[in-house]
Amino acid sequence: MTLNDRKMMILQAIVKDYIESAEPVGSRSLSKKYNLGISPATIRNEMADLEELGFIKQPHTSAGRVPSDKGYRLYVDQLMEIKRTADKTRIHLKTELLRQYNELEQMLQYTSKLLSEFTNYTSIVLAPQVKKSRLKEIKLARIDEENMLAVFVTNTGLIQNPIFRVPPELSSDELEKIANFLNQKFVGMPLEEIENRLAGTLKEELERFHSAVHSVMPELFHALEQMSDMGLYLSGTTNIFNFPEFSDLSKARDFLTLLEEKQVISQLITDPGGGQLKISIGSENSIQKAHECSIVTASYHMDNQTVGWLSVIGPTRMDYAHVIDVLDQMSRLMNQALKDKY
């Protein structure tokens, strides 16, 4: 079922043209605009074949053709020329600013803003998944008579510092002892494993180690659980209004509502598949509500491990080549910035 060169050429032209114009592409204008060296009639014949094979479709009988999800897929896999056109210098310059953020959070927020700015779509940045990151250090310290501060530092630069009450009889020295013990046991371990162990047999061992520890444990455990909330940074949500496919109010609404459901969004982005870069087109998305969108996702790394994702979401009629280019550059630059920092 491989297509001959001419069909490929025609499909490529249709997709390109439609990505640019958002109007169904007719045989006549195609032949004129792209100098394919064949007449509209011939193109019509080929189009009929392409339609039968499911790569393009007609909005209605007397309209031009529009790429189907399958058509975009073929385009992305085989026809697209990744143009390194996105202004490299500009991206590079702006990304330099990443280094000036001390807080990972702000850095991610800024990354997201840049992504939407460079692509004109909506961007999503997923912060490092807490549960998978490894403990670097636990600190416990009294703040005053009633409260203590726990600081969890992970290898992904994530810091969590819940405050909670402790009985006054627990001294600073004792807290330090407990912290030492916990560090000895847990440093280097993924948080989710720590959570499991805390719930399991280790609990007893800890309570044997220090009698006062049982008053701190539930709070620590709770704090760990709370860390599961994964940060998600959106930017350019209103860019959707630039695209005619969302000029229907209910379409725009559905899209924006989708974006509000952080749980769903993060599932879409972390869906397995793909390597360094993942492209999910229309109905390929695992969630029904995202069937009118395409999502391009790049991962970013720390310690040679994937810890989070940069993502661009927009209409299936997306300028894939450009988005891929930008995402590729941004993720590289971000990896570098993270490496320098942590």
Indicate the residue among 72 and 152 with the shorter CB distance to a second copy: 152
Q: Report the SS3 class of residue 4.
A: coil
Binding of DNA at residue 24 (CB under 7 A)?
Answer: yes
- Residue placing its CB nearer to a second copy in the complex, 188 or 272: 188
**Residues pairing with 279 in the sheet:** 296
Nearest to 111 by CA among 335, 342, 276, 313: 335
User: Among 222, 276, 303, 336, which residue interacts with a second copy (rule: CB under 8 A)?
Assistant: 222
Q: Is residue 49 at the binding interface for DNA, with CB under 7 A as the rule? A: no
Residue 159 binds a second copy (CB under 8 A)? yes
Does 171 engage in binding with a second copy (CB under 8 A)? no
| CB count in 10 Å sphere of residue 156 | 23
Tell me the β-bridge partners of 153. 137, 159
Helix, strand or coil for residue 333?
Answer: helix
Shortest Å, Cβ 90 to DNA: 35
Please say which residue, 132 or 136, places its beta carbon nearer to a second copy.
Answer: 136
Burial class (CB in 10 A: 0-12, 13-18, 19+), 185: middle
The token pair that represents 322 in the structure block: 């450009």
Cβ-contact 76, 90 below 8 angstroms: no
Choose among 138, 22, 7: nearest CA to 74. 7
Nearest approach, Cβ of 35 to DNA (angstroms)?
12
35 binds DNA (CB under 7 A): no
> Which position among 139, 197, 210, 332 is part of the footprint of a second copy (CB under 8 A)?
139
Residues 232-261 contacting a second copy, CB under 8 A? 237-238, 241, 247, 249, 252-253, 256-257, 260
User: Reduced to 3 states, what is the DSSP secondary structure of residue 163?
Assistant: strand
Shortest distance in whole angstroms from residue 317 CB to a second copy: 18
The nearest distance, CB 220 to a second copy, in angstroms, is: 11
Q: Which is nearer to a second copy, 84 or 222 (CB)?
A: 222
- Structure tokens of 316? 């299936």
H/E run at residue 185: helix 172-186
- Burial of 38 from C-beta contacts in 10 A (0-12 / 13-18 / 19+): middle
Which residues within the stretch 97-116 sit at the binding site for a second copy (CB under 8 A)? 102-103, 106
Work out which of 229, 303, 336, 339 binds a second copy, going by CB under 8 A: 229
Identify which of 17, 136, 155, 112 has the alpha carbon closest to the alpha carbon of residue 326. 112
Cα dist from 210 to 147, 177, 205, 223, whole Å: 19, 9, 9, 20
Tokens read off for 339: 């490496």
Identify what 151 binds: DNA, a second copy, none; CB under 5 to 8 Å per kind.
a second copy
> How would you label 63-75 residue by residue, b for 16+ Cβ within 10 Å and e otherwise?
ebbbbbbbbbbbb
Asked if 51 interacts with DNA (CB under 7 A), we say yes
Sole binder of DNA in the list 20, 33, 48, 209 (CB under 7 A): 48
| Binding-site member from 22, 53, 149, 277 for a second copy (CB under 8 A) | 149
Of 18 and 152, nearer to DNA (C-beta) is 18
Residue 49: how many CB atoms within 10 A of its CB? 15
CB of 78 to DNA, least distance (A): 21
Name the site residues for a second copy (rule: CB under 8 A). 102-103, 106, 136-137, 139, 141, 143-144, 149, 151, 153, 157, 159, 161-164, 222-223, 226, 229, 237-238, 241, 247, 249, 252-253, 256-257, 260
Name the site residues for DNA (rule: CB under 7 A). 23-29, 37-42, 44-45, 47-48, 51, 58-65
